[in-house]
Amino acid sequence: MNRALSIRSNKSKGNSGAGAGAKRGFSFNSLRGQVQPELSRKLFRLIKSENNLIGAHETAGRERVSIATQLSEWGEHTGDDSISDISDKVGVVLSEMGEQEDAYAHALDDSRAYLKAIRNTEKSVQPSRENKDKIADEIQKLKLKEPSSTRLPVLEQELVRAEAENLVAEAQLTNIVSCDLHRVINHLSKTDRSCRPDKSSKKPMLPSSLPPSNVPKSRSY
């Protein structure tokens, strides 16, 4: 079976999928996504979508446990020992699958903290980019209008400082994106091979060690 190497749409060909032209309904959350800085807007939407995914896994887990209980009880009331035994064993398997769904939902919820750290760093980098570009634009306009202006040396010095600040911010963003993205992948795959969290920070529990819980959790995004 041939497997696609990428799920990204080829925009250069002008292809539009079934959902490409779908209109999004207005909501305060969609408005929040629009007012986010351009650099962090896509990740904001990703975190919001992952929040919906977590809810779906939690619901699936509860439904599996409920079905398992009903199946086991039905088999018991048939009065047939063989049917009762089989239905109970199948119910145990379904119940364990439901607990794994719930555990995976908790793991997804924990991994969102890393994505939020990346998003917040992107938001902090955006102003330094805009400031650097703004000063560069002012210099270009001033060179065209007043090439001998005394403000040029001042603006050029400001540009040097702005570029230095932006360089530090960009380096920090690169490091955080690389490390935290590895943490998300390792966390969900139950591995911790690289980019280990600091010893001083509390390491999130892996899915295998998370206790099942039927109490809904409040999530912010």
Domain for residue 140, yes or no? yes
pLDDT in tens, 12-44: 454 444 444 445 454 545 444 445 667 778 888
Three-class SS of residue 54? helix
Three-class SS of residue 13? helix
Domain for residue 26, yes or no? no
Rounded mean pLDDT, 66-84: 92
Domain for residue 42, yes or no? no
Contact 135, 165 (CB under 8 A): no
Nearest to 107 by CA among 198, 191, 40: 191
Domain for residue 86, yes or no? yes
For residue 116, what are the domain limits? 54-209
Domain for residue 44, yes or no? no
CA 151 vs. chain centroid, Å, equals: 45
Q: Please tell me the total count of domains within the chain.
A: 1
pTM: 0.57
Report the CATH number at residue 161: 1.20.1270.60
Domain for residue 221, yes or no? no
Nearest to 187 by CA among 208, 212, 214: 208
Q: Of the segments 33-42, 60-69, 108-117, 118-127, which one has the largest average pLDDT value? A: 60-69
Helix runs in the chain, H state only: 28-35, 38-77, 81-145, 151-188
Angle among Cα 64, 191, 194 to the nearest 5 degrees reads: 150
Domain for residue 151, yes or no? yes
Domain for residue 47, yes or no? no
